Amino acid sequence: MIDHDNKVTILDIAQKANVSPSTVSRALRDSAGVAAAKREAVMQAVAELNYRPNVFAQSLASGQSMTIGVLTQNFGTPFYDGILLGIMQGFEHTNYSPLFADGRWQEETEQRAIQMLLNRRVDGLILIGGQIAEGALQTITAKTPLIVVARELRTMPDRCIYVNNEQAAYNVTKYLIDMGHRDIVHISATMFYQDSVKDVLYRRQGYLRALQEAGLTADPQLVVEGNLQRQSGAIAVEMMLMRGRPFSAIFAANDQMAFGARLALFRKGIRVPEDISLVGFDDESAAAYMVPPLTTVQQPARELGQAAAAALLNLINGKPAATPIFDANLVIRESVRRLQ
């Protein structure tokens, strides 16, 4: 049972540990200058008395809330949930507690969520993806430590942590070319997300660069626009079949659209990979259990979240933030066939 009426005070701890109240305060803040023996006595007294600090009172005294605002997009999305897990792990052994909000890929919703977090006086913000313009983010950084993860910010390179999407998509397309494919469909989503979320744009650029380096002409008829949802992957396949343009492989800009494409191919009696090879992007947990298991790109979601937490802690403590660019790995499974 949780005790909601904890009456233990710092004076009680000081008396039990036989030290001064100021020593207790310094030991609880993990400050320097407390002898090891006294620190041990304080922590033993804390445990024996089951002392829990009054977080609200501490925040008033220190000017810190000891909370971190985290804005994600669409709770339940495997990639973003992986980043959230990394963020939670990054703060696990600190005194900070994350508060979560969902922007749902809607700029107005994101703005309200950020304002709600700022009103709670969070000590820093981590934004995952999102639609908010870089100018608005620059305004926030003037007052609050901010790290943006899974989104590249050209005007704020020292505040963003992301994956090299262009290179990852290049690797996917080159792999398909090396497997003998020349007519490669790309299901993109740049019409929907080009302005604010450039990941899909970079993936399209990587696709085009690989074709160019292989001496292949980029055919606009082989590029179909989806919206990152499963249904749009299915619709993209229907559109390609109606166009009548032959193709031997599909590279979908995310696994969700690859799942939809697989269903549409199945319904048309088109086999994967015997008739059409298929590749996704994200390596969602379901990708390994699709029939056949999906070749895709694995993004280091948890590592991105951990790096974001570490970078924000540095900013809060007045240190430079390390903002590495991560590589993604091609995971080869059974959905691609080598052409003779």
Q: What does the pLDDT profile of the chain (340 residues) look like in tens digits?
A: 334 445 778 888 889 999 998 888 788 766 777 888 888 998 898 888 887 766 555 554 555 778 999 999 888 888 899 999 999 999 999 989 999 999 988 889 999 999 999 998 999 999 998 888 899 999 999 999 999 999 988 899 999 999 999 999 999 999 999 999 999 999 998 776 554 467 889 999 999 999 999 999 999 999 999 988 899 999 999 999 999 999 999 999 999 999 999 999 999 999 999 999 999 999 999 999 999 999 999 999 999 999 999 999 999 999 999 999 999 999 999 999 999 7
The pLDDT, as a whole number, for residue 137 is 93
What's the Cα-to-Cα distance from 305 to each of 31, 112, 312, rounded to whole Å? 28, 23, 11
Domain with residue 173: its CATH number is 3.40.50.2300
pLDDT tens-digit map of 271-325: 999 999 999 999 999 999 999 999 999 999 999 999 999 999 999 999 999 999 9
pLDDT confidence of residue 25: 78
Side-chain-side CA neighbours of residue 86 (13 Å):
24
Q: Is residue 60 part of a domain?
A: no
340 lies in some domain: no
Q: Are residues 184 and 239 in the same domain?
A: yes
Beta-carbon neighbour count of residue 262 at 10 Å?
26
Looking at every residue in the chain, the average pLDDT score rounds to: 90
What pLDDT, in 10s, does the model give residues 34-67? Answer: 888 888 998 898 888 887 766 555 554 555 778 9
| pLDDT at residue 196, as a whole number | 47
Residue 280 and residue 205 share a domain: yes
Would you state the pLDDT for residue 195?
44
- Eight-state DSSP code of residue 252: E
**Beta strand residue intervals within 37-105, DSSP E:** 67-72, 97-102
pLDDT value of position 58: 55
On whether the CB atoms of residues 150 and 129 are closer than 8 A, the answer is yes
214 and 248, same domain (yes or no): yes
pLDDT score recorded for residue 78 = 82
Is the same domain home to 223 and 267? yes
Question: Is 91 a member of any domain?
Answer: yes
Q: At what angle do helices 230-243 and 255-267 cross, to 10 degrees?
A: 50
Residue 333 in domain: no
Q: Are 281 and 184 part of one and the same domain?
A: yes
Verify that 101 and 184 share a domain, yes or no. Answer: no
Q: How far lies 183's CA from each of 201, 232, 340, in Å?
A: 20, 20, 14
Q: For the chain, what is the domain count?
A: 3
Please tell me whether residues 239 and 264 are part of one structural domain.
yes
Based on the domain organization, do 260 and 201 belong to the same domain? yes
Whether residue 16 sits in one domain with residue 127: no
Range of the domain at 83: 65-163+301-327
Q: Is the Cβ–Cβ distance between 207 and 183 less than 8 Å?
A: no
pTM (whole model) above 0.85 = no
Same domain for 150 and 267?
A: no
In a domain, 338, yes or no: no
Q: How far apart are CA 282 and CA 284, in angstroms?
A: 6
Residue 320 lies in a domain: yes
Task: Say whether both 241 and 141 belong to one domain.
Answer: no
C-alpha dist (Å) from residue 126 to 66, 73, 123, 210: 14, 12, 11, 34
Asked if 185 and 264 sit in the same domain, the reply is yes
CATH number, residue 18: 1.10.260.40
